[in-house]
């Protein structure tokens, strides 16, 4: 990879990490009436993975997006845990999970998710994935259809648009050499986050080393630029009941992608949330949680 591209990917990792509310930003907060949330690790597929576990009932696994971690589900976990056995996983290379320096690709994360489910003893589950997490969830479903009860794709990546071109478009928006440019990129991804993230957090993530989440982000972006693991016609064969949830104002993955998924998947229902961008689970949590629980129940 050329030096300019490495610098661009490092800045992309910084921007996406801030968007995903990664290390150094608010943790999950729950009220006294909320179900207890256990903070756990498990050895899966040869790597140590971090996850949160709460509630009882049918299992539901929550999968975060690029540069994020379990905290992107901080407003969904307490709500879901009243009716479901919830697992929110830090994907391999992210959050508090192990961060081996390997050539990450979507297939790597699918294998890691499979190992996680085996390790915690979940044979069949519903899966909810946001952005890149939706890509992972959809690919897992095509590979292991018998293990998925229901599928929820939240502003999901990997289908309907040429992913590598989307990444190139993002990289072309900013000069990765400056913190100010990282802030500008963050605003382009989701203007609402600009008001919630302090400049100090942006500076922190802009200086992150390749041994933190930035390494996995850069490797995954490089894989996407190479066109690896793009979802194709196999998506049309997914038989599991599927909810496609999309923020109408998503500036990262446009609504037309969600509309394509809703049309192409045989058992899919599309729900569009007004006033939401790329992360409806935090931007419009009440409407998101209502739609999610209605579908899962």
- List per-residue pLDDT tens for the chain, 297 residues long: 444 444 444 444 444 444 433 333 345 544 445 679 999 999 998 999 999 999 999 999 999 998 889 999 999 999 999 999 999 999 999 999 999 999 999 999 999 999 999 999 999 999 999 999 999 999 999 999 999 999 999 999 999 877 777 766 655 554 444 445 555 555 555 555 545 544 444 444 444 433 467 788 888 888 888 889 999 999 999 999 999 999 999 988 899 999 999 999 999 999 999 999 999 999 999 999 999 999 999
For residue 61, give both structure tokens: 């696994």
Domains and CATH numbers, the chain: 3-296 (3.40.50.1820)
Question: 13 and 208 in contact (C-beta within 8 Å)?
Answer: yes
Full 3-state SS string of 22-37: CCCCCCCCCCCCCCCE
What are the start-end ranges of the E strands in the chain?
A: 37-44, 47-54, 59-63, 85-89, 125-130, 148-154, 242-247, 268-273
């Amino acid at each position: 990879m050329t030096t300019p591209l490495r610098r661009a990917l490092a800045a992309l990792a910084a921007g996406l990490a801030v968007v995903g509310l990664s290390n150094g930003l608010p943790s999950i907060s729950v009220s006294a009436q909320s179900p207890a949330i256990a903070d756990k690790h498990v050895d899966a597929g040869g790597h140590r993975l971090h996850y949160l576990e709460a509630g009882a009932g049918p299992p539901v696994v929550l999968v975060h997006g690029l540069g994020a971690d379990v905290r992107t589900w901080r407003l969904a976990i307490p709500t879901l845990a009243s009716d479901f056995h919830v697992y929110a996983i830090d994907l391999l290379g992210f959050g508090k999970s192990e961060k081996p320096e390997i050539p990450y690709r979507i297939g790597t994360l699918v294998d890691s998710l499979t190992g996680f489910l085996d390790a915690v003893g979940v044979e069949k589950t519903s899966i909810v994935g946001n952005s890149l997490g939706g890509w992972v969830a959809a690919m897992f479903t095509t590979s292991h259809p018998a293990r998925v009860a229901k599928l929820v794709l939240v502003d999901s990546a990997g289908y309907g648009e040429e992913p590598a071109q989307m990444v190139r478009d993002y990289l072309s928006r900013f000069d990765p050499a400056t913190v100010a440019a990282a802030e500008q990129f963050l605003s382009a991804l989701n203007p609402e986050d600009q008001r919630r993230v302090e400049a100090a957090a942006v500076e922190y993530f802009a200086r992150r080393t390749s041994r933190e989440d930035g390494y996995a982000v850069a490797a995954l972006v490089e894989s996407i630029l190479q066109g690896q693991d793009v979802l194709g016609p196999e998506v049309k064969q997914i038989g599991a009941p599927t909810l496609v949830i999309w923020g109408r104002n998503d500036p990262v993955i446009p609504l037309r992608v969600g509309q394509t998924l809703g049309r192409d998947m045989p058992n899919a229902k599309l729900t569009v949330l007004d006033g939401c961008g790329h992360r409806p689970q935090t931007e419009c949590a009440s409407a998101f949680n209502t739609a999610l629980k209605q579908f899962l129940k």
